[in-house]
A and B are shown apart, each in its own frame.
Chain A
Amino acid sequence: SYELTQPPSVSVSPGQTARITCSGDALPKKYAYWYQQKSGQAPVLVIYEDTKRPSEIPERFSGSSSGTMATLTISGAQVEDEADYYCYSTDSGGNHRMFGGGTKLTVL
C-alpha cells in the first residue's frame, strides 16, 4: 500500500532553518499539502499545492517539491513553531489519500 514517509523528529535552534521532508512515489505527479498541529489543537493548513501559502500563514513557511520528495521549510524558526507537522497527498490513482506519519519539530 502507498505510504508517505516523514522523519519522526527535527530539532533546530531559534532563528535557524528547519526542513521537514515527505517522501512518496506519487509525489512527482501529485501535490503535497502540509499541516501544523500544536498540542491539543486542530490541525492548521500551512502549505497547499506544494508551494502555496494561505494568507494568514507567516512568510517564513515555504514548500517545495522535487521528484519523490516534498519539503516544508521554516526559515528562521521560532519557538511558537514547535508542533507536529504532517504532509498529505494521494497515490497515483488519486483514491488513496493519506497523511504522513508526522514530524515533531522542536525549536530550542
Chain B
Amino acid sequence: QVQLVQSGAEVKRPGASVKVSCKVSGYTLTDLSMHWVRQAPGKGLEWMGGFDYEEGERIHAQKFQGRVTMTEDTSTDTAYMELSSLTSEDTAVYYCAAKSPALHCTSPSCRSSAFDIWAQGTMVTVSS
C-alpha cells in the first residue's frame, strides 16, 4: 500500500522560502508522478505543479513561474517542493498527491491527474 508522509508545519517571514518534503513508502518514487496542490484557509484546491507523465517533464501552474521548484531524491524516495519569495497569500496547506500503480487508467494523462493517494498536508504560515 502506497503512503505519502509530509514534513511538519512551517512558519515563515515574508520574502523567505519554504521547502516541504513528501516521503513515499510502499512503492518507489519512480513508480509515481508526484504533484503538489495547495489550499488557502477557507478556499478551494489549487494545483501547483508536478511530473507530467505524457510530456516526461515537470510542469507547473503559470502563477508560480520562477517561484516554485519541485525536486526528487530517488535514493530516499522523497519529493520536495520549494516555494520562494513568500507572501501572506502563500499561507496554505500544501499537499503532495499521486496516482497509485494499483489504479487502472485508460489514458496516459490519467497518471498525472488521478490522484488517489494524498499525504496529510503541511500547513505553511507566512507572517511577519
User: Can you give 25 A-B contacts (C-beta < 8 A)?
Assistant: A31-B107, A31-B113, A33-B113, A33-B114, A42-B119, A43-B37, A43-B97, A44-B118, A45-B114, A45-B116, A48-B103, A48-B110, A48-B116, A49-B110, A84-B44, A86-B45, A88-B47, A94-B54, A95-B55, A96-B62, A97-B59, A97-B113, A98-B47, A99-B37, A99-B44
Are A49 and B47 touching (Cβ within 8 A)?
no
Residues of B within 8 A of A54 (CB): 103, 116
Q: How far is the CA of A35 from the CA of B95 in the complex (A)?
A: 14
Residues of B within 8 A of A102 (CB): 44-45
- Chain B residue nearest to A32 (CB atoms) is B113
Interface size, chain B (Cβ < 8 Å)? 28
Residues of B within 8 A of A30 (CB): 109
Are B103 and A94 touching (Cβ within 8 A)?
no
Residues of B within 8 A of A100 (CB): 44
Are B118 and A48 touching (Cβ within 8 A)?
no
Are A95 and B59 touching (Cβ within 8 A)?
yes
Chain B residues in contact with chain A, CB under 8 A?
A: 37, 44-47, 52, 54-55, 59, 61-62, 95, 97, 103, 105-107, 109-110, 112-116, 118-121
Q: Indicate which residue in B106, B115, B120 contacts A49 across the interface (CB closer than 8 Å).
A: B106
Q: How far is the CA of A58 from the CA of B106 in the complex (A)?
A: 21
Residues of A within 8 A of B52 (CB): 94-95
Q: Which residues of A, 8-35, contact B by the 8 Å Cβ criterion?
A: 30-31, 33, 35
User: Provided the pairs A31-B113, A43-B115, A48-B114 are in contact, do residues A99 and B46 lie with their beta carbons within 8 angstroms?
Assistant: yes
Q: How far is the CA of A37 from the CA of B55 in the complex (A)?
A: 29
Residues of B within 8 A of A35 (CB): 45, 115
How many whole Å from B8's CB to the nearest CB in chain A? 16
A76 interface residue (CB < 8 Å to B): no
Residues of A within 8 A of B61 (CB): 96-98
Given contacts A31-B113, A45-B115, A48-B116, 6 further A-B contacts (CB under 8 A): A31-B107, A37-B45, A43-B118, A90-B113, A94-B109, A96-B61
- Chain A residue nearest to B49 (CB atoms) is A97
Q: How far is the CA of A30 from the CA of B112 in the complex (A)?
A: 13
Are A88 and B116 touching (Cβ within 8 A)?
no
